[in-house]
C-alpha cells in the first residue's frame, strides 16, 4: 500500500511543478510583451507619431495605422525599430489617399521708390486687365513700371479684388514702399517724411482698408535732426515741467523722464527722439542735472549740446547752491561743461528800467517795437528783421537810441524777435540779464522751438523764462458749409500778402512763414470738406530730379505744418511739380523768385483725368489761376555784388560749394529779410 501511494504521489508532484513552470513562463512572456508594447508606444509619441498603434505577438511586433504619407510611414518604422529588432517588426501601416491638388495661392508684391515701380507675383487672369496697367502707369508718372507678374486661369478668391484695389491705393500714397497683397491680408512697409506724416498716413490707410481685410502697417518716420540738441527743465511754484526735451535713444528718454517725474513733472511727460546728441552720455547727464535742480527746489536747467546751464531761483541759499552745483559738476560726463548761476531778483515789469527792449505781437499780427537800441545801425537792422518776419506793413517801431547798453544787446534783441515769431500772439521782454517770452500758440511744438532758439542764440549761463500757453485751434463760427472756391480765394489772398518760404536747400519752413501758415490753418478749419491739392513749384535752376524731389518735400512739409495746427488734412493732397508750369521767365531773378512757390488748387472730383495736361509740355504756361507763390528756393544765380549792396541783401552759400559774398555781421537782420535766398545748385 505504501509502495502504491508512493507511485501515485511522485508523478503528481512532477506534474504540478510542470504546470507552475508553464504558468510562470506565460506570465513572464506577457510581461515582456507589455513592456515592449509600452516602450514602442512611448518611442512613437516622442517623435510626434500618434496615428500608429503597436501590438505584440510573441516575439513579433505588429505596427498598424494610417500614415499621412510614405515619409511618415518610414519614420514610424524607424521609431519602433529603436525599441524592437527590425527583423521582428511586422509592417501593417496603410498610406492615406492623397488630397486633391489645391488651387494656386494668389499674391502680388508692389515695390515703389525713386526709380519706378516693380510688380511681381501670381494673379488671376481676370485681374490682368488694361485698367490695372493704366493704374500702375498713372501712379508711376514718368517713371517706368517693371511687370514680372504671372497669371493663372483659376477664379479669383473671395476678397481678392478689394485687397488688390486697396494695395494700389496704399502704393499711390506711399512713394517709398513695399505692399504685399493676398486675398486675406495686405502688409505695407514704407518710409514717411516725418512723425506727423506717419500718423496721417496710418490713419488714412486704416480708414480706407476693406472690412475684414487684415492690415499690417510698418511705416517708419526718420528721427528729426535737432540742432542744438536741447533740453530745458523748470521747477517753479506752479510745478515742474519741460520746455524742451530731446533724447537720442529710447533708453535715454526713459531715464530722463523718470528723473523728471521724480522731481514732480506730470505723468504724461515725454521726450522727443532725435539725432544730434553731443555725447552718448546724454541721458545720464540730463538725469543728473534734473536731480540736482530737484535738490535746489526751484530754478531752471538748460542743456544746449554740451553746454549745461543751472540757474537757481532768486533767494536760494548760497551754501546749498554751491554744494549742489559742485556735485553736479563732478557727476557730469567729461564732454559736458557746467555754468551755474545764482541770479539776483529779476524785474519783468515791461514799464520799468531803461535797459530793456519790448516787442509785442497782437492776435491780428501787428507788431510794436519799444525800448532801447544801441545805435542807428542796430535799430535799422532790428526793424528790417522784424519786417522780414512779420510783414512790412505790420511793424511799428518806437525804438530809442542808448549807446550805454551792454555788450551783446543786438543779439539778445534779435533772439527775442525770432522767438516771438513762433507764437500766435505774445510779447518778448529783453533785459541785460534776463529774457522773457510769453504768449499764446496753436502749435504744440512752439515751446520747444522757443527754448531751442534762446539757448542757441543767447549762449551759456543765460537766464530766460518761457511762459507760453497752448490753445487747440477751433473752427471759426458760422462756417458749416462754406464755398470751397471761396476758401481757395482766401488762401490766395493770404499768400499774395506773404509767401511761404523755406530754409535754403531744405524742406524746413522758415520761421518768417509761420504767420501765414497760421492764417491758412484758420481758413482751412472753416473749410473741412474742401478737397485741395498743395502744389510745390521750383525755378529751372538745378537738375529736374532734384527740383521735383524738393518741391514734393516742401509740399509735404506744408501738409505736416497744417496737421500740427489741428487741421483735418484727409482732403489735402501734396504734390511736387518741380519746374513745371512757370508763371514767369526763368531768365531773371525776379522771374525765378516768382516761380518758386506753393499753390493751393481746388480738386474737382468731376474733372477729367490730368493725363492730358502732361501732353502740353514745351508750351508756354498760362498765368497761375489759384495760389500765390511760396518760395521754393531751389537754385538761383548769385546777384552781382553791386546789386546786392544796393538792395542791402546778402546771398547765402549755394549747395555747389561756391561761396557767395558774405554780409557783415551787423547786416545779419537785413540778410534774413532779403528775398534773394538761394538753395543748392548742381
The mean pLDDT values, 10 residues at a time, for the chain of 682 residues are: 59 60 56 78 86 82 85 84 79 76 82 90 88 89 89 90 93 91 94 80 90 91 84 94 93 96 94 91 96 95 94 92 95 93 66 77 90 94 87 88 92 93 92 92 85 88 88 60 82 88 77 82 84 90 85 89 80 89 88 88 64 43 40 39 35 36 36 38 36
Question: Rounded CA gap, 449 and 235, in Å?
Answer: 19
Hunting for cell 511543478 — which residue is that?
A: 17
- How do strand 425-431 and strand 434-441 relate by DSSP bridges? antiparallel
What was the pLDDT predicted at 24? Answer: 56
Question: How would you classify residue 170: left for phi > 0, otherwise alpha for psi between -120 and 50, otherwise beta?
Answer: alpha
What was the pLDDT predicted at 349? Answer: 52
State how far the alpha carbon of 415 is from the alpha carbons of 218, 304, 337, 362, 459, in Å: 40, 15, 23, 19, 11
- How do strand 434-441 and strand 464-470 relate by DSSP bridges? parallel
Q: Contact 275/337 with Cβ under 8 angstroms?
A: no
Q: What is the DSSP secondary-structure string of 578-647?
A: TT-S-SS-SSSHHHHHHHSEEEEEE--TTSPPTHHHHTTTTSPPPPPSS----------PPPPHHHHHHH
The H helix count followed by the E strand count for the chain is 18, 24
What was the pLDDT predicted at 477? Answer: 52
Question: Rounded CA gap, 214 and 185, in Å?
Answer: 5
Residues linked to residue 241 through DSSP beta bridges, in sequence order: 234
What was the pLDDT predicted at 525? Answer: 82
What was the pLDDT predicted at 4? Answer: 56
Sort 213 into a burial class: Cβ within 10 Å, 0-12 / 13-18 / 19+: middle
> Which candidate, 630, 311, 338, places its Cα nearest to that of 464?
311
Neighbours of 640 (CB within 10 A): 10
Strand, coil or helix: 521: helix
What was the pLDDT predicted at 530? Answer: 84
Strand, coil or helix: 476: coil
Q: For 332-337, which contacts have Cβ atoms below 8 Å and span 24 or more sequence positions?
A: 332/285, 332/288, 332/289, 332/308, 333/279, 333/281, 333/284, 333/285, 335/278, 335/279, 335/281, 335/306, 336/278, 336/279, 336/281, 336/285, 336/303, 336/306, 336/307, 336/308, 337/306, 337/307, 337/308, 337/460
Q: Where are the alpha helices (DSSP H) in 498-543?
A: 514-525
Q: How far from the centroid of its chain's Cα atoms is residue 621's Cα?
A: 36
Q: For 585-589, which contacts have Cβ atoms below 8 Å and span 24 or more sequence positions?
A: 586/539, 586/540, 586/541, 589/636, 589/637, 589/639, 589/676
> Which candidate, 545, 529, 359, 539, places its Cα nearest to that of 438?
359
What was the pLDDT predicted at 662? Answer: 35
CA quadruple 421, 426, 427, 428: dihedral sign: negative
What was the pLDDT predicted at 265? Answer: 95
With b meaning 16 or more CB within 10 Å and e meaning fewer, what string describes 367-379? bbbbbbbbeeebb
What was the pLDDT predicted at 476? Answer: 53
CA quadruple 14, 18, 19, 21: dihedral sign: positive
Strand, coil or helix: 373: strand
> Which candidate, 391, 411, 591, 603, places its Cα nearest to that of 501?
391
Phi, psi of 240 (to 5 degrees): -105, 145
Amino acid at each position: 500500500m505504501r509502495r502504491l501511494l508512493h507511485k501515485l504521489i511522485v508523478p503528481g508532484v512532477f506534474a504540478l511543478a510542470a504546470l507552475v513552470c508553464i504558468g510562470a513562463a506565460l506570465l513572464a512572456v506577457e510581461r515582456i510583451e507589455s513592456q515592449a508594447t509600452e516602450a514602442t508606444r512611448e518611442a512613437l509619441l516622442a517623435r510626434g507619431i500618434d496615428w500608429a498603434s503597436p501590438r505584440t505577438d510573441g516575439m513579433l511586433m505588429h505596427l498598424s495605422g494610417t500614415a499621412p504619407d510614405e515619409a511618415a510611414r518610414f519614420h514610424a518604422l524607424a521609431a519602433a525599430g529603436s525599441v524592437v529588432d527590425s527583423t521582428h517588426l511586422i509592417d501593417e501601416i496603410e498610406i492615406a489617399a492623397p488630397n486633391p491638388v489645391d488651387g494656386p495661392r494668389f499674391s502680388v508684391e508692389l515695390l515703389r521708390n525713386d526709380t519706378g515701380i516693380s510688380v511681381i507675383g501670381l494673379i488671376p487672369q481676370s485681374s490682368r486687365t488694361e485698367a490695372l496697367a493704366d493704374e500702375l502707369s498713372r501712379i508711376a508718372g514718368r517713371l517706368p513700371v517693371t511687370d514680372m507678374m504671372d497669371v493663372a486661369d483659376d477664379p479669383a478668391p473671395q476678397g481678392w479684388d478689394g485687397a488688390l484695389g486697396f494695395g494700389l491705393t496704399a502704393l499711390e500714397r506711399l512713394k517709398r514702399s513695399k505692399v504685399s497683397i493676398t486675398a486675406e491680408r495686405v502688409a505695407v512697409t514704407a518710409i514717411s517724411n516725418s512723425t506727423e506724416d506717419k500718423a496721417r498716413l496710418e490713419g488714412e490707410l486704416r480708414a480706407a482698408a476693406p472690412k475684414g481685410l487684415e492690415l499690417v502697417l510698418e511705416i517708419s518716420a526718420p528721427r528729426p535732426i535737432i540742432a542744438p540738441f536741447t533740453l530745458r527743465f523748470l521747477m517753479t511754484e506752479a510745478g515742474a515741467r519741460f520746455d524742451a526735451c530731446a533724447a537720442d535713444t529710447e533708453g535715454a528718454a526713459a531715464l530722463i523722464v523718470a528723473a523728471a517725474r521724480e522731481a514732480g513733472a506730470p505723468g504724461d511727460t515725454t521726450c522727443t527722439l532725435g539725432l544730434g546728441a553731443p555725447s552718448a552720455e546724454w541721458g545720464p547727464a540730463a538725469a543728473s542735472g534734473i536731480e540736482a535742480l530737484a535738490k535746489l527746489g526751484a530754478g531752471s536747467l538748460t542743456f544746449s549740446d554740451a553746454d549745461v546751464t543751472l540757474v537757481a531761483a532768486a533767494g536760494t541759499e548760497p551754501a546749498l547752491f554751491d554744494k549742489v552745483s559742485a556735485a553736479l559738476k563732478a557727476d557730469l560726463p567729461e564732454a559736458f561743461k557746467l555754468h551755474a548761476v545764482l541770479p539776483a531778483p529779476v524785474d519783468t515789469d515791461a514799464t520799468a528800467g531803461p535797459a530793456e527792449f519790448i516787442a509785442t505781437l497782437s492776435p491780428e499780427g501787428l507788431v510794436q517795437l519799444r525800448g532801447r537800441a544801441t545805435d542807428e545801425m542796430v535799430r535799422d537792422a532790428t526793424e528790417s528783421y522784424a519786417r522780414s518776419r512779420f510783414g512790412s506793413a505790420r511793424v511799428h517801431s518806437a525804438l530809442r537810441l542808448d549807446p550805454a547798453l551792454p555788450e551783446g544787446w543786438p543779439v539778445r534783441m534779435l533772439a527775442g524777435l525770432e522767438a516771438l515769431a513762433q507764437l500766435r500772439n505774445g510779447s518778448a521782454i529783453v533785459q541785460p540779464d534776463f529774457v522773457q517770452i510769453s504768449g499764446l500758440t496753436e502749435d504744440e511744438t512752439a515751446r520747444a522751438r522757443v527754448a531751442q532758439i534762446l539757448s542757441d542764440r543767447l549762449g551759456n549761463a543765460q537766464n530766460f523764462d518761457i511762459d507760453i500757453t497752448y490753445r487747440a485751434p477751433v473752427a471759426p463760427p458760422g462756417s458749416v458749409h462754406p464755398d470751397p472756391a471761396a476758401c481757395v480765394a482766401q488762401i490766395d489772398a493770404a499768400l499774395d500778402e506773404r509767401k511761404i518760404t523755406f530754409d535754403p536747400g531744405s524742406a524746413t519752413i522758415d520761421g518768417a512763414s509761420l504767420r501765414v501758415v497760421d492764417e491758412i490753418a484758420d481758413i482751412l478749419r472753416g473749410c473741412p470738406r474742401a478737397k485741395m491739392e498743395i502744389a510745390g513749384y521750383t525755378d529751372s535752376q538745378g537738375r529736374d530730379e532734384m527740383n521735383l524731389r524738393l518741391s514734393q518735400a516742401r509740399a509735404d512739409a506744408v501738409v505736416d505744418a497744417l496737421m500740427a495746427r489741428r487741421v483735418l488734412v484727409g482732403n489735402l493732397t501734396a504734390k511736387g511739380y518741380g519746374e513745371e508750369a512757370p508763371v514767369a521767365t526763368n531768365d531773371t531773378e525776379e522771374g525765378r523768385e516768382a516761380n518758386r512757390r506753393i499753390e493751393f488748387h481746388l480738386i474737382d472730383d468731376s474733372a477729367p483725368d490730368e493725363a492730358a495736361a502732361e501732353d502740353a509740355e514745351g508750351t508756354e504756361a498760362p498765368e497761375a489761376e489759384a495760389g500765390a507763390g511760396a518760395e521754393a528756393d531751389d537754385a538761383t544765380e548769385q546777384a552781382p555784388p553791386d546789386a546786392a549792396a544796393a538792395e542791402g541783401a546778402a546771398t547765402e552759400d549755394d549747395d555747389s560749394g561756391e561761396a557767395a559774398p558774405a554780409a557783415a555781421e551787423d547786416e545779419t537782420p537785413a540778410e534774413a529779410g532779403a528775398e534773394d535766398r538761394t538753395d543748392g545748385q548742381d
